[in-house]
Homo-oligomer: A and B are copies of this chain.
Amino acid sequence: MTQSWTLSPDRGFGPDPARLTIARRLYATVANLPIISPHGHVPPALLADPSAGFGSPADLFIIPDHYVTRMLYSQGLPLEGLGVPTRDGTPIETDHRAIWQRFADHFHLFRGTPTGLWLADELINVFGVTEKLTSASSQRIYDHLAERLAQPEYTPRALFERFNIAVLCTTDAATDPLAHHQALREQGWGDRIRPTFRPDAVVNLHAAGWSEQIARLSDMSGVEIINFTSYIRALEDRRAFFKRMGATATDHATLMPYTARLEPHECGTIFARALHGTATNDDAARFMGHMLLEMARMSAEDGLVMQLHVGSLRNHHDALFERFGPDIGADIPIQTEWTRNLRPLLNSFGHDPRFRLLLFTLDESGYGRELAPLAGHYPALLLGPPWWFFDSVNGMRRYLDRVIETAGLANTAGFNDDTRAFASIPTRHDIWRRVSCDWLAGMAVEGLIDEDDASAMALDCATRLAQRAYKL
C-alpha cells in the first residue's frame, strides 16, 4: 500500500477562516458524543447474536445497499453481477471478489455523492484502509477487509460499542414476534436496542399479502380478526406488546399524507370488502386516511411517538421488481401536499399534549412552504431530519436553511440515520454533526446568533433533540 488515502479533518466545513474557527470549536463539543439512532433499518438479528458477523466485504458494503447498487445499475451494471438475490431463479454472481472488483472499477461513480463520502469514511476510519479504492488496489483492499471482518473487534456487537451508540431503534413489522429483541433484553441490551412498531403491511389494504398478514396479526395478538373492531383491538394489543418490549415509537409510510375520518359503518364495510378481497383502490386510500387518524388516537393514548414517511412511489421499475423484489433502488419520490391532507389529523390531535407526530418528506419544496409553518404552529408536530436522498451535505444545508428560520430548531427532531447499513451509522451522524456545526458557525459569523446560542444548538442537533423527540 503505497498511496495514502485520507479524509480532511475539516471535511464538511466551509473554508472561510473565521467561520472555520467557530465550526471547529462547536464540532469539538459534539464529535464524540454517544450516537442516538432513533430510526433505522438495521436487522436486529445482526446484534442479537453476539457472535454474528458481517460476511464478506461484498456482503457488508455492496449487496444489501441499494444506494450502492442503484448507482452501479444506472451506469449499466446488471444487478445480477453485483450478487443481488433474485426471486425468480435468475442466477447471480456468487464470487464476492468479482463483485468487489466491479464495484472498485466503478468507484468513481460515487464522486460527490453522500454514498461516496460514507464509503470512504467507513473504509478509512472504521476499517483502516490506507490506499484509495481503485481497480488496481481493489483486491488488496478486499484482503484487508476480509482479514478485519474475521476479527472479533469487527463483529456488529464490537462495533456497536466502538461506535459509542447509546441507543438504536430498529423498524419491525406489526406482526413480528420480536424474538431478537427478546434475546437482547435477556442479555441486558433492551435499553440500547429497541423495536419500532410498523404496521404498514396490515394497514395498506393493497399491500402484498395483506390477507396473510391479517391472519398473522390474529395469531400474534390472540385476537381473532373478524371485523374492523377486532382489527383495531389486535393493533392495540400489538402496540402494547411493542411498548413492553421497549418501543417508544411507531412508523408509517404512505404515498400521500391524506387523512380523513370515515363514518363507523364505512370502516366496517371497507374492511369487510378487504377481507373478501374486493377492496377498491379508493377503499384502500380512504382506509389509510382513516387509519392514520386511528394511529394518532392510539399514540395519544399509549404515548408511542408517531413517525410518518411520505412520498416514495415504490417499485417504479416493474421488470426489476419482478426479478429482485422491493428495495433495490427504484423507489422514486413524488410531489407531496401537506397543508390540506394533514388538516383533519392535526385538527384532531395537533394540540394534544400526549401526542407527538414526526414528519419526513422527499419533496423539499414543502420544507419552507408547508412543513415549517405547520411545525411552527401545532404543538404535537416536529419535523424529522432530511430523509433518504437528502441525507447529504447539501441536503442537510438546504434543510437547515429553510426549516429553522420558520419552524425554529425546537420544532425539529434532530438527526436519524435511517439506514440498514450498520457500518455507516457513525459516518452519517458525523456528517450531520459537521454540517450542523458548520451551519451554526455560519449563522454566528454573520452575527445572526451568538456563540452561546450556537453552542447550545450544536448540542441540540447532535443528541438532545432526538432524545426528546423519541422520548429516549
Chain A interface residues toward B at CB < 8 A: 7-8, 10-16, 18-19, 70-71, 73-76, 108-114, 116-117, 132, 313, 316-320, 329-335, 337, 339-340, 343, 346-347, 350-351, 353, 362-365, 368-370, 372-379, 381, 389-390, 392-395, 398, 401-402, 404-411, 443, 445-450, 453, 456-457
Contact = CB atoms under 8 A, between A and B. Distances in A.
A364 B369 contact: yes
A446 B404 CA distance: 23
29 contacts: A8-B447, A15-B19, A71-B408, A73-B377, A74-B381, A74-B410, A76-B353, A108-B453, A111-B453, A111-B456, A112-B449, A113-B404, A114-B405, A116-B449, A316-B339, A316-B343, A317-B347, A317-B350, A318-B347, A319-B347, A332-B339, A332-B374, A332-B377, A333-B373, A335-B365, A364-B365, A389-B405, A393-B405, A395-B405
Given A112-B443, A447-B8, A317 B372 contact: no
A132 B389 CA distance: 40
A52 to B, nearest CB: 31
Given A16-B15, A319-B347, A334 B337 contact: yes
A235 B316 CA distance: 30
Given A11-B446, A448-B12, A74 B334 contact: no
State the copy count for this chain. 3
A401 to B, nearest CB: 5
A449 B448 CA distance: 27
Given A75-B411, A114-B405, A330-B377, 14 more contacts: A10-B447, A12-B446, A15-B16, A71-B408, A316-B339, A317-B350, A333-B370, A334-B369, A364-B368, A364-B369, A365-B365, A389-B406, A393-B405, A393-B448
Given A369-B335, A394-B401, A448-B112, A377 B316 contact: yes
A158 to B, nearest CB: 28
A248 to B, nearest CB: 19
A407 to B, nearest CB: 8
Given A374-B332, A401-B394, A15 B446 contact: yes
Contacts of A316: 339, 343, 346, 374, 377
- Across the A-B interface, the 4 shortest Cβ-Cβ residue pairs: A8-B447, A11-B447, A392-B405, A365-B365
A112 to B, nearest CB: 5
B410 A75 contact: yes
